[in-house]
Amino acid sequence: MKISWKVILLWTLPALAIGFFLWQGAFGSSGIEIGQNTASTRMTYGRFLEYLDNDRVRSVDLYENGRTARVAAVDPQLNNQLQQWRVDLPANSPELISKLREAKVSFDIHPPRNEGAIWGLLGNLIFPVLLIAGLFLLFRRSSNVPGGPGQAMNFAKSKARFQMEAKTGVMFDDVAGIEEAKEELQEVVTFLKKPERFTAVGARIPKGVLLVGPPGTGKTLLAKAIAGEAGVPFFSISGSEFVEMFVGVGASRVRDLFKKAKENAPCIIFIDEIDAVGRQRGAGIGGGNDEREQTLNQLLTEMDGFEGNAGIIIIAATNRPDVLDSALLRPGRFDRQVTVDAPDIKGRLEILDVHARNKKLAPDISLEAIARRTPGFTGADLSNLLNEAAILTARRRKEAITMLEINDAVDRVVAGMEGTPLVDSKSKRLIAYHELGHAIVGTLLKDHDPVQKVTLIPRGQAQGLTWFTPSEDQSLVSRAQLMARITGALGGRAAEDAIFGDAEVTTGAGNDLQQVTGMARQMVTRFGMSDLGPLSLESQTGEVFLGRDLMKISEYSEEIASRIDAQVRSIVEHCYDDAKSIIRENRAAIDRLVDLLIDKETIDGEEFRQIVAEYAIVPEKEKYVPHI
């Protein structure tokens, strides 16, 4: 078993202290131990004087400056045999020497030995030396530990990771799906490699590039690619590493970082999650954070101040550009703001090509089909998707990833881990009607996304799931599409109500109702899709510094608030009536599908649409056109 050096020191130092005090007790006094080897018995001072007066004392040896004596005297009780005693003398007995001389007793005075003093001196020297040596060793070893006591002198130094030649293992070829952002950043790399091409026509190198986008879209990956391509010194640090508890430390670290960068210019500084230090100044309840604001002020000065920072390019990443200080975003500091958004179907296909390089895929795998089924997935999501599929393949002991593992991985990433299948019961039949209510309403609505599959296998918190896959990426959503989505989301509750009656309606539609209410309210207050007219009555972002839910400031009167509530209710009730109408008119198709779903537990989209085409009754309204 390996014992840590810290444990050894923690046990050694107390042991040294205990040993020191024992040493002091053993050798701290001077003199000799008379009672152990030189005197077998003790004699009182009065009896000693009595023996002295009766001429029974033959010799006296005085020790410890006259405080102790070894007396050789004749003992009348032992037939006048010569015995030795130890006598403790009083402190003040100057007449004793005179009496010894008068009695003509042989006496000798022994000076005190200094052995105890020598050992005490050695103990006083050795223990502090050992203690100081132990503390020095502890201090030296802890100086290599981040945040240890040895780092006290480096407290204000920058914590940025520095690489003279950043070998991140990532190049621009490894970044896919964000071609516009790559093109912007390739110019930065060209600036660093061939600056004369731009300076010849009067162009100056940009001082900063801000990467903005949702989490997982590849902002940090782009920074690694820039470091790998540029071949210049590279500093990387997180925004939270500047801010400390003590005021002034963050600003000192910023100064130290830019000092090192200027010594290695041209170079790149990458600040991840810059919103941790770059938030708006003077915001928040009770004022701003002095430490964070001083750090931001120093950062602003270093980026574009009197001294300048020629040859230093700062790349920062954040998914919260709305909270950044306006002085940080102006030209001259961050000259470019590059949006790194979620990829479209072409971008997702390119990302899948990159992440599939080290995966063993079956011949029937279609990356295009995977890309179509994963709208809204970011690069990190797609990487995780293929990794989950590879894990499932290894668990099932297959040699290559098939579409079955891909589909199961999509379900797991989106909805959670697969649960235990439901047993045949009234609850299972009710869940089947609920899920088929979503599916058939969505299928018979013209503007709704087509059904991918319907399943009764629980995943996460859901007891059953209905999957819809959009036919194309939608950046803009029409009013008809929103109404269709609300109606489809209400299909489950409508099926419970229309088939089992109002008394048998369950809590299964709780999440559906939350989504429906949110979409209807956004239609009224943000998108102007109601009788209130084209008005935006609520801001799209809450007050991030005061708290989004803690303090909501109303931007309209109570009368308008009442009308908003009425419009939301009107939209939801209208869609709910449409959903119940579709359920009632297609009861035969639903009953047939319920029996099939309970038997198979999963129905894919093609089989579902074939059965609906046989049984479904298309309503007379033009908006109800089935996906068949």
CATH number of 161-339: 3.40.50.300
Q: Is 435 tagged catalytic?
A: yes
> What does the alpha-carbon distance between residue 153 and residue 143 come to, in Å, rounded to a whole number?
10
Burial class (CB in 10 A: 0-12, 13-18, 19+), 316: buried
> What does the alpha-carbon distance between residue 228 and residue 302 come to, in Å, rounded to a whole number?
25
- pLDDT (0 to 100) of residue 22: 57
> What does the alpha-carbon distance between residue 67 and residue 455 come to, in Å, rounded to a whole number?
103
Segments in the chain below pLDDT 70: 1-40, 91-94, 113-124, 127, 138-168, 244-247, 283-289, 306-309, 471-473, 539-554, 616-628
Residues 6+ away with beta carbon under 8 Å from 488: 438, 441, 442, 445, 448, 468, 579
Nearest to 489 by CA among 462, 517, 464, 463: 517
Q: Which of 435, 558, 559, 573 is catalytic?
A: 435
- pLDDT (0 to 100) of residue 606: 87
Q: In 490-557, where does DSSP find H-type helix?
A: 491-500, 510-525
Break the chain into its structural domains and give their ranges.
Answer: 5-28+116-154, 34-113, 161-339, 345-414, 426-615
Nearest to 323 by CA among 275, 277, 372: 275
The answer to whether 396 and 405 are in contact (CB under 8 A) is: yes
The answer as to CATH 1.10.8.60 being correct for domain 345-414 is yes
Does the CA dihedral 553-559-564-565 come out positive or negative? positive
CATH number of 34-113: 3.30.720.210
Give tens-digit pLDDT for 243-277. 766 667 778 888 888 888 888 878 888 898 898 88
- pLDDT (0 to 100) of residue 517: 94
Tell me the CATH number of domain 426-615, given options 3.90.1570.10, 1.20.58.760, 3.30.460.90, 3.40.50.300.
1.20.58.760
Give tens-digit pLDDT for 573-598. 999 999 999 999 888 889 899 989 88
Farthest-apart Cα atoms in the chain, separation? 148
Nearest to 53 by CA among 45, 42, 65: 45
Residues 6+ away with beta carbon under 8 Å from 226: 185, 188, 189, 268, 270, 315
- pLDDT (0 to 100) of residue 72: 84
> What does the alpha-carbon distance between residue 555 and residue 45 come to, in Å, rounded to a whole number?
106
